């Protein structure tokens, strides 16, 4: 086990482990840390704790010191520079008639590098743009193309649930999400209802997938044949959460009956269809 602290460089970014170097830190402390690209300003997202050696990417960099007022002022000044650089880059993008959307600008703590994040539907020849930016800011320029999910994480917003985007609040990494998850959870397959603002399937479909897979493993699916106290029947609807089934009795003109899955015996499951075209594409 190794003692570490977790540090975030962006509010919506992931946390990274650093060696506290014998110092004690608390959540929210501003610190200067050593990184592969130089010293950077960050904030403690998790205080001193121990993690397994297998969870650490070596060599483990150190927390150099607690940030002082001069460091904080420099960090805030960089934020103001980022706003100005954003405006300048947008103007140059229009001048060069480039098919790209600028999302965010990030200054390194020491000011030796400026990274411009953008989205685009295809490849962009931004060589002339880089030259103009370098001439304007007299520092190293990097343009980095990102996906729409990363764009949503950077910009933030409110989801259809009424809460801020998960990727902006707490997600460290994006997990694979498939249309199969929406089907197994009984959701509408209308893309507008199961997609986030980024246009991709909602990340929250992943959260309850394990629970739905577990419930599916012992709940008769629609089309299954079951034995009830009133006779043999076919499941025409199933609620995985409550366990209630709607069963149409065979050779009966009576209305379908509601029965709990614990009160029936599964005779045969309906074989699930082959993958749909949507699943294959996903």
pLDDT (tens digit, 9 = 90+) per residue, 232-278?
A: 999 999 999 999 999 999 887 888 999 999 999 999 887 554 444 44
CATH 2.30.30.30 domain residues, the chain: 219-268
DSSP-H helix ranges across 64-159: 69-95, 127-137, 148-155
pLDDT at 281: 47
pLDDT at 271: 55
DSSP-derived pairing of the beta strands 113-119 and 140-145: parallel
CA atoms of 74 and 244, how far apart (whole Å):
61
pLDDT at 187: 87
**pLDDT band at 108, cuts 50/70/90?**
very high
Q: Which CATH architecture has domain 76-146?
A: 2-Layer Sandwich (3.30)
- Mean pLDDT of the 186-210 span: 90
pLDDT at 14: 80
CATH number of 219-268: 2.30.30.30
pLDDT at 174: 86
Q: In the predicted model, is pLDDT for residue 13 greater than 80? A: no
- Mean pLDDT of the 11-22 span: 86
With 0-12 / 13-18 / 19 or more C-beta atoms within 10 angstroms meaning exposed / middle / buried, residue 245 is buried
**pLDDT band at 169, cuts 50/70/90?**
confident
CATH 3.30.300 domain residues, the chain: 76-146
Q: Of 75-84, 166-175, 273-282, which range is least confident?
A: 273-282
pLDDT at 272: 53
**pLDDT band at 10, cuts 50/70/90?**
confident
Q: What is the mean pLDDT of the chain?
A: 89
CA atoms of 236 and 233, how far apart (whole Å):
9
CA atoms of 21 and 61, how far apart (whole Å):
9
CA atoms of 54 and 43, how far apart (whole Å):
24
pLDDT at 192: 87
């Amino acid at each position: 086990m190794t003692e570490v602290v977790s540090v975030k460089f962006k509010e919506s970014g992931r946390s990274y482990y650093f060696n506290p170097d014998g110092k004690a830190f608390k959540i929210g402390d501003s610190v200067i840390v050593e990184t592969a690209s130089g010293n950077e300003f960050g904030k403690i997202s998790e205080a001193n704790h121990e993690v397994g050696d297998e969870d650490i990417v070596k060599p483990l960099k150190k927390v150099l010191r607690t940030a002082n007022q001069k460091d904080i002022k420099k960090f805030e000044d960089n934020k103001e520079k980022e706003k100005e650089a954003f405006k300048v880059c947008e103007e140059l993008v229009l001048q060069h008639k480039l098919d790209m959307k600028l999302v965010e600008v990030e200054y390194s703590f020491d000011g030796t590098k400026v990274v411009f994040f953008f989205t685009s539907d295809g490849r962009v020849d931004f060589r002339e743009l880089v030259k103009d930016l370098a001439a304007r800011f007299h520092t190293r320029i990097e343009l980095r193309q990102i996906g729409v999910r990363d764009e949503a994480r950077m910009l933030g917003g409110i989801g259809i649930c009424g809460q801020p985007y998960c990727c902006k609040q707490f997600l460290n990494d994006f997990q694979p999400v498939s249309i199969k998850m929406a089907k197994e959870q009984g959701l509408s397959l209308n893309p507008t209802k199961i997609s986030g603002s980024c246009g991709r399937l909602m990340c929250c479909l992943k959260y309850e997938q394990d629970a739905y897979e577990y419930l599916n493993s012992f709940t008769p699916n629609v089309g299954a044949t079951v034995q009830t106290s009133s006779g043999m029947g076919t499941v025409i609807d199933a609620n995985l959460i409550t366990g209630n089934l709607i069963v149409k009795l065979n050779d009966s003109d009576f209305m379908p009956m509601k029965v709990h899955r614990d009160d029936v015996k599964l005779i045969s499951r309906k074989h699930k269809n082959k993958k749909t075209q949507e699943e294959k594409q996903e």
